């Protein structure tokens, strides 16, 4: 099957570099008209430069595709709506949105500032809401549409020094599921994808004696590996896929579990603090989850 996105219009945020750029280029190769959105800021979100987005557009056009560059800040409600309006003006329709824009401001929790928290939540979580919300009325009216929101195992599992990022990315999973529920009756689907890839953002993680070997492995996970499954989720062939959380790690594709009750305790007379301590906690303790981070769960090397 070729041209799986033929005739589609797709907005990809954070598409000036890394994972987003590879998604935009493959989407165009598969027949989509692409809006390449990127603020062009640093890993922490500072600054603004349309150059990276324009470079991706040039590559798409050189390969025979259609694309426009957009420098909107997705953390802004108004600019996110302007982004969507620019896509409609340029191409007359929008069929899918890949919410990929993100920033990092890693800091150990007890040293994290309010500004480090706010900046990461604004781009990684509110940015997804803003862009998706801008598209929602059109998708509802057209009775179609696909969202792919980038989450992370930093939120789904946990990581050191990423309280802000982990909270935002777990929030993205909740946002995506609720969007899927709210929009299902309009034929709109929403899914999450946790990408494992060596990018500019991941490259800001300090190398230590403990993680040096893992970082060398991570460098093998190139951003282009994330694009095929993302493009597939945007296609009509995936019209029955919604409300799911996926992961891509080099040549592996994962379906993640979603939180569900795994064990319960009950008492007819009601609980007291003492009975919780004496009965409930001991009964549940055997099913507690370990204090793990992403690298503790994904212990094997990608192939």
pLDDT of residue 1: 46
Q: How confident is the model at residue 145 (pLDDT cuts 50, 70, 90)?
A: very high
pLDDT for 289 beyond 70: yes
Number of other residues whose CB lies within 10 A of the CB of residue 259: 8
Q: How confident is the model at residue 279 (pLDDT cuts 50, 70, 90)?
A: very high
Distance linking the first and last C-alpha atoms of the chain: 25
Q: Longest Cα pair distance anywhere in the chain, in angstroms?
A: 72
Residue 209 tokens, joined = 């004696």
pLDDT for 274 beyond 80: yes
**How far, in Å, are 21, 272, 296 from residue 57 at the CA level?**
9, 63, 38
Can you tell me the distance from the alpha carbon of 170 to that of 166, in angstroms, rounded to the nearest whole number?
Answer: 6
Secondary structure (3-state) at 60: helix
Q: How confident is the model at residue 197 (pLDDT cuts 50, 70, 90)?
A: confident
pLDDT of residue 216: 59
The residue with tokens 């192939």 is 303
Question: Quick one: average pLDDT of 72-97?
Answer: 98
Residue 264: is it exposed, middle or buried by C-beta count within 10 angstroms (0-12/13-18/19+)?
A: exposed
pTM of the model: 0.92
Q: Which structural domains are found in the chain, ordered by start?
A: 9-258 (3.40.50.720)
pLDDT tens, position by position, 220-256: 679 999 999 999 999 999 999 999 999 999 999 999 9
H/E stretch holding 35: strand 33-37
Cβ(102)–Cβ(75) under 8 Å? Answer: no
Q: Which of 240, 144, 233, 132 is nearest to 191 (CA)?
A: 233
Can you tell me the distance from the alpha carbon of 234 to that of 7, in angstroms, rounded to the nearest whole number?
Answer: 12
Q: Which of 63, 57, 68 is nearest to 30 (CA)?
A: 63
Catalytic residue flag (residue 165): yes
Can you tell me the distance from the alpha carbon of 202 to that of 214, in angstroms, rounded to the nearest whole number?
Answer: 12
Number of other residues whose CB lies within 10 A of the CB of residue 40: 16
Can you tell me the distance from the alpha carbon of 127 to that of 12, in angstroms, rounded to the nearest whole number?
Answer: 12
Can you tell me the distance from the alpha carbon of 213 to that of 216, in angstroms, rounded to the nearest whole number?
Answer: 5
pLDDT tens, position by position, 242-252: 999 999 999 99
Catalytic residue, candidates 139, 147, 165, 196: 165
Q: State the chain's mean pLDDT as an integer.
A: 93
pLDDT of residue 205: 57
Cβ(152)–Cβ(165) under 8 Å? Answer: yes
Can you tell me the distance from the alpha carbon of 15 to that of 223, in angstroms, rounded to the nearest whole number?
Answer: 11
């Amino acid at each position: 099957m070729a041209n799986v996105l033929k005739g589609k219009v797709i907005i990809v945020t954070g598409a000036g570099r890394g994972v987003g750029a590879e998604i935009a280029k493959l989407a165009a190769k598969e027949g989509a008209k692409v809006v390449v959105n990127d603020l062009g800021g640093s890993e922490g979100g500072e600054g603004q430069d349309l150059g990276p987005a324009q470079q991706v557009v040039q590559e798409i056009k050189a390969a025979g595709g259609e694309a426009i560059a957009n420098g909107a800040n997705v953390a802004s409600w108004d600019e996110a709506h302007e982004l969507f309006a620019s896509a409609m003006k340029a191409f007359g329709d929008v069929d899918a949105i890949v919410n990929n824009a993100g920033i990092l401001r890693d800091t150990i929790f007890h040293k994290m500032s309010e500004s480090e928290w706010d900046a990461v939540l604004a781009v990684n979580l509110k940015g997804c809401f803003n862009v998706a919300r801008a598209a929602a009325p059109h998708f509802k009216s057209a009775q179609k549409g696909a969202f792919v929101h980038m989450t992370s195992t930093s939120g789904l599992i946990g990581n050191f020094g990423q309280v802000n990022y982990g909270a935002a990315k777990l929030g993205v999973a909740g946002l995506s599921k609720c969007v899927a529920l709210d929009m299902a009756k309009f034929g709109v689907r929403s899914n999450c994808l946790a990408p494992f890839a060596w990018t500019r953002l991941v490259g800001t993680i300090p190398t230590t004696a403990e993680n040096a070997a893992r970082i060398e492995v991570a460098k093998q996970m190139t951003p282009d590996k994330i694009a095929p499954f993302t493009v597939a989720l945007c296609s009509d062939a995936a019209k029955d896929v919604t409300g799911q959380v996926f992961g891509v790690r080099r040549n592996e594709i994962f379906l993640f579990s979603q939180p569900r009750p795994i064990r319960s305790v009950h008492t007819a007379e009601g609980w007291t603090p003492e009975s919780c301590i004496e009965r409930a906690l001991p009964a549940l303790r055997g099913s507690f989850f370990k204090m793990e981070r992403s690298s503790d769960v994904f212990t094997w090397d990608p192939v």
